[in-house]
Chains A and B, each alone.
Chain A
Amino acid sequence: MKTTIAGTEIDVNEEGYLTDASQWNEAIAAAIAAEENVGPLTDAHWKIIQHLREKHAADEQVTIRSLNKSGVAPTKEFYALFPKGPLKKAARIAGVPKPAGCI
C-alpha cells in the first residue's frame, strides 16, 4: 500500500515497513523514528541504521547477537537507543524488512 511520510510517497506493508528499500531517505527515517518513540536520531543511531541497510543490500541477516559480536551495537546500548524490540524498530526506521520467521 502507498503512504506519505516526510513529504514522500512510499510503499509499505500492513505493519508500516518499507517494501522497497530504495525509496528510503534520512527524512523518512527520522519521521518513522518519531512514530516509534525513538530518537532524536544521533550518530550512534545512524551507524546502526546504515549497517542494517548495508546488510540488507548484501542479503545478509542481522541479529541482536551479530550486532553485538561485530561491535556495531553492544546489546545494552542497542536497547538504550531503540527501546523495546530494538531490532524490529531499527529495521523499520532503516527501511528494511522486519526480522521474521517463515510463517
Chain B
Amino acid sequence: MKNLIILGAGTAGTMMAHHLRKRLSAAEWTITIVDRSENHYYQPGFLFLPFDMIEERAIVKPVRDLLPGDVDFIFAPIERIDAEANRVHLGGRDPIDYDLLVVATGSHIAPDEIEGMNGEGWRREVFDFYTFEGARALRDRLATWAGGKLVVHITEMPIKCPVAPLEFAFLADSFFKKRGIRDRVEITFVTPLSGAFTKPKASRALGHLLADKHIALEADFAVQKVDPERKCLVSWDDREVDYDLLVTTPTNMGSDAMEASGLGDDLNFIPTHKNTLQSIAHENIFVIGDATNLPASKAGSVAHFESETLTENILRFLEGKPLLETFDGHSNCFIESGDGKALLIDFNYEYEPHPGRFPFSWGPMALLKESRLNHWGKLAFRWIYWHILLKARPLPGIPLQKRPPKEDAA
C-alpha cells in the first residue's frame, strides 16, 4: 500500500480528499488527512456573523462528516515535515510516512506581529473577524455598541479573501443605518495600499461606493503599532488614526510547521509553481489553497479551481507524465456592498476584474456591478459550499479557466 497524506482539512484539503479518493485505487492507496481542528468552518460566514446575519450553527460542521468514509482522519497538530525522509511529525503521536504529500495548511492571522495589537484591548476594543471566536466576540460587542469611531483596517497584504475588510465596512454602514445610529458612527477604512480599489477597472466602476456610504479613507498606511491606551493606530510615517472600535485584519501567515520544516517563505507560505501547483523544492510535495505563495487570491474559489488542476497533476505525476500548466490564477468572488446588494468579480493572473456578465455571455449575474441577485447568490453559496464544492462535485457552467473579457476575446 502507498500513502497519500493531505495536511489540513479546510476548504482545499477536504476538496482534495474527495477528488483523490474518487480517482486513486483503494487497493493501492490509503489517503490520510490531518488537521488540528475537529471543526470545519464555513469561513465566508465570518463576514456575516458580526452583524448577526447568520447563525453560528450554520457555519460549522464536524470535519469527519465532510470527508469520504474511506479517508482516514487524524486529529493532531502538525509539527514538522521532514521532506528528505518523506515523513510528517505530529504533536502527541507517532510520525507518519508518505509517498506523496498535499499541503493545504491555509493561512491564519498573526496579531502578535504588530506591537500593541494583541495587547490589553484585544477583543475589547480591538477585534478580528477572521476567526470564529473573533467574529462571535465582535457580534456581541456590536450588538450593544452605542457608536463612535469605527476603524476597519488591513495590516499588510497578502490576506485571505482580500476584499473582506472592505465588505465589512459596507455591511457596517448598513448595520448602523438599520439600528438607527448611523449618524453616531464614523467609519474609516485604513489600508496599506494606495486606495480601497487598486485596479483601474474596479476603481472606475466602484470608486463612488466609499463616498456614497460616507466611509472615510486612509490609504498608504503602513502600520507600525497599535496604541491600546490612546486607542490609535500609528503608521511608520507618524500618522495616527483614532478608534473607539478597531476591526483589524492582522498579518496573515502560513502554518508554523512550514517554518519548522524550512519549507516556507518569510510569511511561511510555500514556494509553489504557479500553474502546476507542485512545490518548487520537492517533486512529491504539492501545495493548494492559502498555503501557497502564489500571486492568486487566498480564497475558496481559487482552491476550487486549483483542485481541478492539482488532481490531474497528481495522477500524471504518479504515472510519470509531464504536469499540466492549466491553473491560471482564476478567482471568482461575491462581494457584499451593503443594503442587500452584492457585486461579483471574476479574474485571473492575466485579466483584472472587469464589467460583463457571468457565467454565460447573457448572465444571469452581472460582473463588477451591484445587484440584489448577486447578494442572493452569495447567500445561496453556503449551500453550494457544503454540498457541492467541498464534495468535489461539478459546478455546471463555471469553467476551470477564466473566459477572457469580451473586449479581449477576439
Contact = CB atoms under 8 A, between A and B. Distances in A.
Interface stretch (A21-29, A32-40, A46-54, A95-103): A95-103
A60 B265 contact: yes
B147 interface: no
Contacts of B157: 61, 63, 99, 101
29 contacts: A13-B200, A14-B200, A59-B295, A60-B293, A61-B158, A63-B157, A65-B113, A65-B156, A66-B266, A66-B267, A69-B266, A70-B266, A75-B224, A76-B236, A83-B237, A84-B220, A98-B198, A99-B157, A99-B198, A100-B199, A101-B157, A101-B163, A101-B193, A101-B199, A102-B333, A103-B197, A103-B199, A103-B206, A103-B345
B234 to A, nearest CB: 12
A87 B220 CA distance: 9
Contacts of B345: 102-103
A86 B192 CA distance: 11
Interface string B181-216: 000000000001110011110100010000000000
Nearest to B201: A103
Contacts of B274: 59
A66 B113 CA distance: 12
A102 B222 contact: no
A85 B236 contact: no
Interface residues of A, number: 27
Nearest to A100: B198
Main secondary structure of the interface of A (DSSP, over half): loop
Contact of A75 (B163, B197, B222, B297): B222
Contacts, number: 77
A100 B193 contact: yes
A102 B194 contact: no
Contacts of A5: none
Nearest to A85: B220
Contacts of B113: 65
B158 to A, nearest CB: 6
B162 interface: yes
A84 B237 contact: yes
Given A69-B266, A98-B194, A101-B162, A61 B237 contact: no
A103 B202 contact: yes
A36 B294 CA distance: 30
Interface in B269-301: 271, 274, 293-295, 297
Nearest to A78: B236
B130 interface: no
A86 B163 CA distance: 23
A8 B306 CA distance: 40
A79 B333 CA distance: 35
A64 interface: yes
Nearest to B161: A102
A45 interface: no
Interface centre among B266, B293, B335 (most CB of A within 10 A): B266
A55 B265 CA distance: 12
Contact of B236 (A61, A64, A66): A64
The winner among B198, B267, B297 for most chain A CB atoms within 10 A is B198
Contacts of B237: 79, 83-84
A88 B331 contact: no
Contacts of B194: 85, 88, 98
